Amino acid sequence: MTIHFRWFGESDPIPLTHVRQIPGIRGVVAALGDIPVGQAWPQDRIQHLRRGIEAAGLKLEVIESVNVHEDIKLGNPSRDGLIENYKITLRRLAEAGVQVVCYNFMPVFDWFRTDLAHPLPDGSNALYYDASVMADLTPAALVRKVADQSRGLAMPGWEPERLAALDSLMQSYQGVDAEALFANLRYFLEAVIPVCEQVGIKMALHPDDPPWPLFGLPRIVTHQANLDRILDLVDSPAHGLTLCSGSLGANPANDIPALVRRYGSRGRIHFAHVRNILRFPDGSFHETSHLSSDGSLDLYEILKAYHDVGYRGPVRPDHGRMIWGETGRPGYGLYDRALGIAYLNGLWEALEKG
């Protein structure tokens, strides 16, 4: 596996010079987060991003995310033009040397927490999903909460323009059920996967986080039966998964090492997000350090599964705690994610030499 670190561009409080010093690092996972979703990414902006990263001694091989416009998820007539723009972006990314594009197919909301700075007993804080808080929360209240807690930094998937039209967006999903979402995902894939095959890009669909429906919105990238069905929608090696241990792992019924073996052995995992969470019986969970004994997931077993299937693709740590007084984008500080990488490196070296 190759080690990467998510970096939010020049506005990221973490400089590339710091990222470069993480042991074993190969590259950063980045995006043009300011380009409105649905527009083709400008060639010069992509090349500028790549040059800056390479000048820091790092690679840009993975993009997270090229977001999918809601009209595509809704199956609205305007989707064809939006998909054409998506294809242009994919071609331009391939020209810049990008190999993997991460995206998701979650209606309206991307990942979802009720608290971005939940205090932990060791004095750190972490992202928290409190099932009891969710029960009383409206979508608008949730958006306000996330905005209030994000320290003025745009949270990925919570970009203000995406959520500006929240009410009408929620309305437009009335009558869009899981079946419709499957059909709209198929339509999207049938259009973009041939382009990916041509230019050598691998699409890596991120699971829904958390992996269950929210506010009556359908969510389909949730568990094995659906993942099987999704991968069968278009049978191409260019159509695969971002296997995110923490997203799928929020549901205790999802056996992460088994999923890694199942899809990894078929060459359908193109990107690995490896992190830990601590689950509670009522469905609540929070992020922890990456260490197996701190959370509900066994990171050794997860990495062993990747090792056993011969996974050679990119991996990144994810959603660290905020430690050592660091302030920054919740979930995306430097210190705990760097510790996560050191731990993943250690496990991997032991597996390699084992």
CA 244 – CA 272 distance, rounded (Å):
6
Q: For residue 102, state whether it binds ligand DNO (rule: CB under 6 A).
A: yes
Q: Which of 61, 64, 71, 336 binds ligand DNO (CB under 6 A)?
A: 64
> Judging by beta carbons within 10 Å of its beta carbon (0-12, 13-18, 19+), is residue 296 exposed, middle or buried?
middle
Q: How many residues bind ligand DNO (CB under 6 A)?
A: 11
103 belongs to the catalytic site: no
Rounded CA separation 267/239 (Å): 10
CB 115 within 8 Å of CB 224:
no
Q: Which residue in the set 206, 239, 262, 337 belongs to the binding site for ligand DNO (CB under 6 A)?
A: 206
**Binds ligand DNO by CB under 6 A, chosen from 257, 331, 333, 340:** 331
* Cα–Cα distance, 120 to 135 (Å, whole number): 22
Query: Whole-number minimum distance, CB 66 to ligand DNO, in Å?
Result: 8
Nearer to ligand DNO, 67 or 284 (CB): 67
Cis peptide before 42 (omega within 30 of 0): no
Contact between 245 and ligand DNO by CB under 6 A: the answer reads no
Stretch that binds ligand DNO, among 48-56, 99-107, 169-177, 231-239 (CB under 6 A): 99-107
**Closer by beta carbon to ligand DNO, 8 or else 304:** 8
In this structure, which amino acid lies at residue 225? A
CB 67 within 8 A of CB 35: no
Instruction: Assess 317 for contact with ligand DNO (CB under 6 A).
Output: no
Element (H, E) at 14: none
Q: Does 89 bind ligand DNO (CB under 6 A)?
A: no
Q: How far is the CB of 149 from ligand DNO (least distance, A)?
A: 14
Residues 109-128 interacting with ligand DNO (rule: CB under 6 A): 110-111
Q: Which residue in 115, 239, 244, 263 is the catalytic one? A: 244
Report the side by side order of strands in the sheet with 125-129: 115-119, 125-129, 285-287, 277-279
Report in angstroms how near the CB of residue 29 gets to ligand DNO at its nearest.
9
Q: Which token pair is 268? A: 């359908």
Cα–Cα distance for residue pair 59/316, rounded to 1 Å: 13
CB closer to ligand DNO out of 241 and 304: 241
Tell me the closest approach of the beta carbon of residue 212 to ligand DNO, in angstroms. 15
Please tell me whether residue 118 adopts helix, strand or coil conformation: strand
Whether 270 is catalytic: no
Give just the sign of the alpha carbon dihedral 61, 41, 36, 109: negative
For residue 152, give Cα distances in angstroms to 6, 105, 108, 141, 327: 18, 26, 21, 17, 12
Minimum CB distance to ligand DNO, residue 83 (Å):
17
- Whether 102 sits among the annotated catalytic residues: the reply is no
Nearest CA-CA partner of 16 in 5, 1, 3, 32: 5
| Tokens describing residue 36 | 């409105």
- Name which of 256 and 307 has its Cβ closer to ligand DNO: 256
Which range of residues in 101-109, 256-264, 290-298, 306-314 is near ligand DNO by CB under 6 A? 101-109
Catalytic (active site) residue 244: yes
* Catalytic hit among 86, 128, 129, 332: 332
Catalytic residues: 206, 244, 273, 318-319, 332
List residues near ligand DNO by CB under 6 A: 64-65, 102-104, 110-111, 156-157, 206, 331
